[in-house]
Structure 1
Amino acid sequence: MVKQERALRTREALIRSAATVFDRDGFSVASLSAISSLAGVSNGALHFHFANKATLADSVEDAAAQRLDQLITDHEGTAGNSLQLLVNVSHDLARCLHRDVVLRAGFELSRHQARTGGRDLHRHWHQWVEAALKRADGEGVLNAVSPEAVAVSVVAATTGFEVLGTQDPQWLSHRTVTRFWQLLLPRLAAAAALADVTPAGSRTAPHPPAAAPHLPAAAPRIPDQRGGTTL
């Protein structure tokens, strides 16, 4: 049991370290040596858990997808209607993309042209947004708009914030997302429902994202290319 727990801690440390290096250097440039060094393990230990960089990237995407699913689940049932739910989740997604390197790296890996066969977090997010808008339409909350067309606009904006946020975190700020919804909601929401939908989010952070269990208590800070540090 102790040996299994140690192996799990090592695997989780490698996933987080890989996310940090992918986020900092990009998938193509990232080296397995840099990842194992940041995790505090040998290259042999890394290869025991992951055959190559591609399988390690797949695991980062899997972990990011779990974080995205948990974020959505945490908000289910907390809003008065599905349109408010979408607003709330978009705020929390922006907040988590700013602070959670695994989630951020998962989205970045999904955009990488050199990778095939991995999870597509953008598509996963698009599917959920479209489903939420269709529920809102069924609830009578939407104006005379197409849920599918609106989903394209919402996903384009929110994923655009994610990309721009790699250079300037203000794109992922609560203020930026609120302004986006202030502009969109008057066109999107039915007149009778508009007053019931809060652009700033009615519950933007139900729970802070759980820290990955079993990771080292203090990962070293590494200068990143955006001028700050990554954990």
Structure 2
Amino acid sequence: MGHQQERATRTRRLMLKSAAEVFDREGYASARLADISAHARMSTGALHFHFANKEDLARTVVNEARGILWRAARIPYEKNGEPLQALVDISHTLGQLLSWDVVARSGLRLDTEWPRGGRQQFIHAWHACLQRLLDRADERGTLRPEIQPQPLICAIVAATTGMGVLIKGGTGERTRMGFTGFWQGFLPGLAASNVLDGLNPGGTTDLVDYAVTASRYLPYDPEEAADAERAAKGLL
């Protein structure tokens, strides 16, 4: 990559972060390109060189957020063999990212609130992931027998996304405490008694920290995200 291309890439990422900060603060409808370019300390013309309009910029923020969150969630999903602990670890990972990563947080909000056609892709992919984990736990006999998965999935989706957004700008410890408290109250009604004591509501710290850090650097496979979205459509 030449020097000019590197500079263009850095400029584009700066504009993307500035846009995410303005969208996060103002919302899509109220955000103006002039405010975004001023926040990035660049001209509106420079912004238009990289992005056609506000919709194009918002779509790019959404796609970047999906990639960050998807990469992060995959790590505990694949590396933790106990499905309920994997579920806890993913929630802590997403909560950490949403609380301090403005691109992830703003992109998720745009994905769920932006007035356009289509489903909210990350939320529905997360829904499908939860369904798989609970199905796997059920097969292993680690769920309480009276559990009905769909209400639980709705509660977990709301908690993991809502809490991470509400604690924005907070310290990682504050976010971790919030999710730990949620799982301390939630796991006894979810997990079979023979596995409950082996679950850590505070998350597997090393795994969560690694997932949060690595999420920006690991390759993102859009086709895998599309597979999760297709699976989610079949569940809802």
TM-score normalised per structure 1: 0.81
- In structure 2, distance between residues paired with 1:119 and 1:95: 21
Q: Give the Å deviation of 1:118.
A: 7.6
- In structure 1, distance between residues paired with 2:82 and 2:215: 30
What is the match of residue 35 of structure 2? 34
Contact 1:137 1:147 in 2 (8 A): no
What is the match of residue 200 of structure 1? 202
Matched, 1:185 2:187: yes
Percent of paired sites with the same residue: 39
Matched, 1:46 2:50: no
Structure 2 matches for 1:77-226, cutoff 5 A?
A: 77-117=78-118, 119-144=120-145, 145-166=147-168, 173-203=175-205, 204-209=208-213
Gap change, CA 1:142 and 1:106, over 3 Å in 2:
same
Give unpaired runs (5+ residues) of structure 2: 218-236
SS in 1 for 2:28: coil
What is the match of residue 221 of structure 2? none
Gap change, CA 1:89 and 1:172, over 3 Å in 2:
farther
Contact 1:62 1:119 in 2 (8 A): no
SS in 1 for 2:160: helix
What is the match of residue 229 of structure 2? none
RMSD: 2.6
Gap change, CA 1:193 and 1:157, over 3 Å in 2:
same
Contact 1:165 1:171 in 2 (8 A): no
Contact 1:126 1:151 in 2 (8 A): yes
Q: Give the Å deviation of 1:159.
A: 2.6
Amino acid paired to 1:183: G
- In structure 1, distance between residues paired with 2:72 and 2:211: 9
Amino acid paired to 1:159: T
Deviations 1:57-89 (A, max 9, x none): 010010000111111123244324011011011
Contact 1:95 1:173 in 2 (8 A): yes
Matched, 1:58 2:62: no
Give unpaired runs (5+ residues) of structure 1: 214-231
Structure 1 stretches of 4+ moved >6 Å: 167-172
Q: How many residue pairs end up in the alignment? A: 213
Contact 1:95 1:172 in 2 (8 A): no
Deviations 1:120-149 (A, max 9, x none): 332222222222222222232212223333
Gap change, CA 1:212 and 1:202, over 3 Å in 2:
closer
SS in 2 for 1:114: coil
Contact 1:75 1:89 in 2 (8 A): yes
Gap change, CA 1:58 and 1:94, over 3 Å in 2:
same
Amino acid paired to 2:209: A
- In structure 2, distance between residues paired with 1:164 and 1:171: 14
What is the match of residue 220 of structure 1? none
SS in 2 for 1:173: helix
Q: Give the Å deviation of 1:113.
A: 4.9
Contact 1:61 1:106 in 2 (8 A): yes
SS in 2 for 1:143: coil
What is the match of residue 9 of structure 1? 10
Structure with the bigger percentage of helix: 2
Amino acid paired to 2:213: P
Amino acid paired to 2:101: D
Q: Give the Å deviation of 1:114.
A: 2.5
- In structure 2, distance between residues paired with 1:51 and 1:139: 50
